[in-house]
Structure 1
Amino acid sequence: MATQKVGQRLGFIKVPESSAGAARGGTGRAIHPFDEEYGTDTSGLIFGDDLWSTAYYGVTPSLLTQMIGALNLDWERFTFIDLGSGKGRALLLASRFPFKKIMGVEFVPDLSTVAAANIAKFDPSWKACREIESITGDAAKFEYPEGPLVIYIYNPFLAPVLKKCLKHLSKLLEKEPREVYLIYGNPVFERLVKRYAPRFEQQWDRMFSFTTEEAAVDRFGSKEERVILWKYAYNR
């Protein structure tokens, strides 16, 4: 059963829509409460159809706000970038913080199109960043903007693609060193960061708890998530 659970989280094992949440106690509601409240489309469990991606599953709202809030940065200096951004829930949630800009990179055109539509309609009173963009493209070839960055990944790739992303990022930062934070949620391939991005120094490794309401609707019945933060040693 443990192997099956890991496979489900990675996207190796497909879980029927009706039973995905029940597998570990979650209700697996088709429409997430976040979408019900804001009229967006970020719900669903969408598996990758190749050998390199895992699956799209929107981040738990309180998880993202907790992990970003834990950085305690001068937000307006930083661009937030979500690699493998899917339908864009993380982009919408990140707008609670006054980032300079928020960008998502998604390889699947259909998902990126949905994300763009979500961005266009999302306008809560607490929105603090207005410049949000969903880009269709390859995260391993992404042209990062200038300036300080907060890069977020929620286990969107299997090892081969993550390796390419890390090598690409490291090569860029060797030429253009700067302040960069890397947030890795559900860090299944954390060892790759140490190997292919050695100048990123781990800052913390934490478990963040979901709210009771969020745990009740999680498709995997999860109540918490592990997150690791690294910082690029640009002045080392």
Structure 2
Amino acid sequence: MTEITGEIAFVDSESILVQWKFTGIWLSFGIRRTISLASRAIRKIRSDGLIESLKYTREWISENYHEWRLGIESAEYVQARDLGIDGVDYAPADYRSLTTALRGLDISPARDVFLDYGSGKGRVVVMAATYPFRRVIGVELSEQLNAIARKNIQRAARKLRCNEIEIITADASTYRVPDDVTVVFLNIGGRILAAVLERLNESMAKSPRKITILFKYPRWVDNLLGQCDWLTVRREIPCYSEFGERFLVYETTATRFKSLPRIVGSKPIPSSSSLRE
């Protein structure tokens, strides 16, 4: 019979005590977390009603699931002044509507190149790269956000199907669009959007092709794309947004833009609503 010494017995007992201690901590944390979420849910129901609260809960579950599945951190809202840039605030596009939009594309691995304007922490770039695009590009003014985006791309590497991903630090209004870009994600507005449309016009002039534009914008600002006679709405994607956003999918109907929208008389865009990916 193997003899069990008192010393070994003591170590095993201590190990068990440590395990119970950590189990107790996690149970306590879980209980507190559950109580906190329950309290928030009750307040949400009281303020917004049951239906809106259920929509919010579904969205909350979706957001957290995709962040966990991809292993990235892209959720938190960041104001431009905290980034030290003269730009718009960072607010991520929701996963559910973005997934619906991407699934609706007929993607050719040999042809299609995806471009995200205002790529922020890289959520849209990462999601696009889970599909077989030939190349995915993110353009962002903040180097601080770009650093986060590159880390997120590394974290999600095993989930990605696109091998060529590029994060570029540049001003969206002056960035020259590569002539092979075929899908563009826009979550910007006002003069920046008008400038982006001009850059797309220049690219189309050099290399005529069909471009699909995924456009998400707050309902209270002018839809500049709706003023373009060379664009046709192919579908509207339902999306839950506390900011009241719309998500439209456009396609070019001409090999070169015939006219560009004017923003004279457009509604002002509040700083808190100048959302992007």
TM-score, normalised to structure 2, is: 0.62
Q: 1:120 aligns to what?
A: 154
- What is the aligned counterpart of 1:104 among 132, 135, 138? 138
8 Å CA contact retained: 2:178, 2:203: no
What is the distance in 1 between the residues matched to 2:217 and 2:66? 21
- What is the aligned counterpart of 1:81 among 110, 115, 123? 115
Q: 2:167 aligns to what?
A: 134
Q: 1:35 aligns to what?
A: 67
Q: Structure 2: which 5+ runs fail to align?
A: 1-39, 257-277
Structure 1 position 178 matched with structure 2 position 171: no
Q: 2:234 aligns to what?
A: 203
Deviations 1:64-123 (A, max 9, x none): 121011123334411011101100011111122100101110111110111011112222
Q: 2:224 aligns to what?
A: 192
1:231 is matched by which residue type in structure 2? E
Question: Post-superposition shift, 1:33?
Answer: 3.9
What is the distance in 2 between the residues matched to 1:158 and 1:147? 24
Structure 1 position 146 matched with structure 2 position 166: no
Where relative contact order (Cα < 8 A, 6+ residues apart) is larger, the structure is 1
8 Å CA contact retained: 2:235, 2:249: yes
Question: Post-superposition shift, 1:163?
Answer: 1.4
8 Å CA contact retained: 2:179, 2:203: no
Deviations 1:147-167 (A, max 9, x none): 2510001x3x34121111112
Task: Please identify which structure carries the higher strand content.
Answer: 1
RMSD: 3.1
Count residues in correspondence. 200
TM-score, normalised to structure 1, is: 0.71
Question: 1:204–1:81: structure 2 CA closer, same or farther, 3 Å change rule?
Answer: same
What is the distance in 2 between the residues matched to 1:175 and 1:139? 19
Structure 1 position 228 matched with structure 2 position 228: no
What is the distance in 2 between the residues matched to 1:45 and 1:83? 17
Task: Please identify which structure carries the higher helix content.
Answer: 2
Same amino acid, percent of matched pairs: 23
Q: Structure 1: which 5+ runs fail to align?
A: 1-18, 211-217
What is the distance in 2 between the residues matched to 1:167 and 1:235? 14
DSSP 3-state at the match of 1:133:
strand
2:117 is matched by which residue type in structure 1? L
2:113 is matched by which residue type in structure 1? T
